[in-house]
Amino acid sequence: MSLANGRPYLATPGPSVMPDRVLNAMHRAAPNIYEGALMEMTASLWPDLKAVAGTQHNATIYIGNGHAAWEAANANVFRRGDTALVLATGRFGHGWAENARQLGVKVTVTDFGNAAPIDLARVETALRAEPNARAVLATHVDTASSARNDVAALRKLMDDLGHPGLLMVDCIASLGCDEFHMDAWGVDVVVAASQKGLMTPPGLGLVFFSDKARQAAKSSDLRTPYWDWEPRADANHFYMHFYGTAPTHHLFGLREALTMIHEEGLENVWRRHARLAGAVWAAGEVWGQGGAFALNIKSPACRGHAVTAMRLSNGDGTRLRRWCEHEGGVTLGVGLGMAEPGTPAADDFFRLAHMGHVNAHMTLGALAVMDAGMKALGIPHGAGALEAATRAISQG
């Protein structure tokens, strides 16, 4: 007997749940890629994508995942031998740094560990040590640690120090989940992807860039024809947006997802994520009162609203994850970058996503299955977590 035989719920931090509306929008015959409806539909994506990122500048779509967006941004901005200052607050910061390093960029990483956001005092030291760094790379919400960084404060620090570098931010986890304002916060390059807050299958990498970044990129010597953002941003012919055949069905899916975000209102989307995250944190605080359970990021102000990283002990994280999937129909995310993969400690860590197409019954349901799993497996935990979560949902 398994209690998992209803509709499965993939609660991993990417790919996220795809709305039926998005799936249905993709379920159609192949469109003409040379003229007609596809062109008009695609033209309507650019202003709506820019609105979600909070920019009036440039947007490009690459056929690729988040790693592709990382590489696109790096290849356009850097010259061989340039310095990149990377601020790492979890696994994904290191991943972007590694991509730059392999392209021939001199990378200086300031590592804030696995459980804390950026510390501006240390950033100041790093900026002073590299006054000519071409760019600062930061992650808005690191999906591994679930730390959220104050991007506006980072920009202000760069401005106060007169640092000329571009500010590049990985919003792959956070776009469409956490409040973000690219232009108002002085961000030059934003990378994102389709499969998280944008509720569309994996396959589209997004890069937004300011006119300042566009100007600076003219001297890049790392870009190759496919990654060059210039013809994509100002395509004279439709195929140039994608340097070849358009990702037709992904575009129809993304169109529907953006319409859904528009119908709800972007600020309401952010508020919904904040409220659901609050329910997860409320449950987590109570679970932690009676056992090894702990939320990875201590300060609520520094937690992302799209995903929550958590831990147990003695390998109970993996046991709980398996129970939730096989007995509860909810798939939690594995821990990433918290312990050496394959070591016993790696089995302590796991994550619950609450990004994109999620509502109260999904998040409360996932929490209830986790609570049941801890009881079934005899994992000690504080009592009353679900009561705390429902109070957080009802009161905000």
Ligand X SMILES: *Cc1c(COP(=O)(O)O)cnc(C)c1O
Site residues (vs ligand X, CB under 6 A) = 14, 65-67, 92, 139, 142-143, 170, 172-173, 193, 202
Q: Which of 4, 41, 28 is nearest to 255 (CA)?
A: 41
In whole angstroms, the minimum distance from the beta carbon of 66 to ligand X comes to 2
226 vs 192: CA distance, rounded Å: 18
In whole angstroms, the minimum distance from the beta carbon of 388 to ligand X comes to 27
The answer to whether 330 and 322 are in contact (CB under 8 A) is no
| φ and ψ at residue 364, rounded to 5 degrees | -65, -35
273 vs 270: CA distance, rounded Å: 5
Q: Which two tokens stand for residue 161?
A: 């120090």
In whole angstroms, the minimum distance from the beta carbon of 392 to ligand X comes to 24
Neighbours of 231 (CB within 10 A): 15
In whole angstroms, the minimum distance from the beta carbon of 95 to ligand X comes to 6
* Spatial strand order in the sheet of 9-11: 9-11, 330-334, 349-353, 307-311, 294-295
Q: What angle do CA 146, 150, 156 make, to 5 degrees?
A: 160
145 vs 158: CA distance, rounded Å: 24
Neighbours of 103 (CB within 10 A): 17
Nearest to ligand X of 12, 110 (CB atom):
12
Nearest to ligand X of 204, 368 (CB atom):
204
Q: Which two tokens stand for residue 87?
A: 């601020």
Nearest to ligand X of 171, 385 (CB atom):
171
The answer to whether 182 and 53 are in contact (CB under 8 A) is yes
Q: 52: number of CA atoms within 13 Å, CB side?
A: 34
Ramachandran area for residue 90 (φ above 0: left; ψ -120 to 50: alpha; else beta)? left
In whole angstroms, the minimum distance from the beta carbon of 1 to ligand X comes to 35
In whole angstroms, the minimum distance from the beta carbon of 386 to ligand X comes to 28
Closest residue to ligand X using C-beta atoms? 66
Nearest to ligand X of 190, 193 (CB atom):
193
Nearest to ligand X of 304, 373 (CB atom):
304
In whole angstroms, the minimum distance from the beta carbon of 246 to ligand X comes to 19
Nearest to ligand X of 355, 385 (CB atom):
355
In whole angstroms, the minimum distance from the beta carbon of 65 to ligand X comes to 3
Q: What angle do CA 243, 50, 219 make, to 5 degrees?
A: 55
Nearest to ligand X of 26, 73 (CB atom):
73
Nearest to ligand X of 21, 67 (CB atom):
67
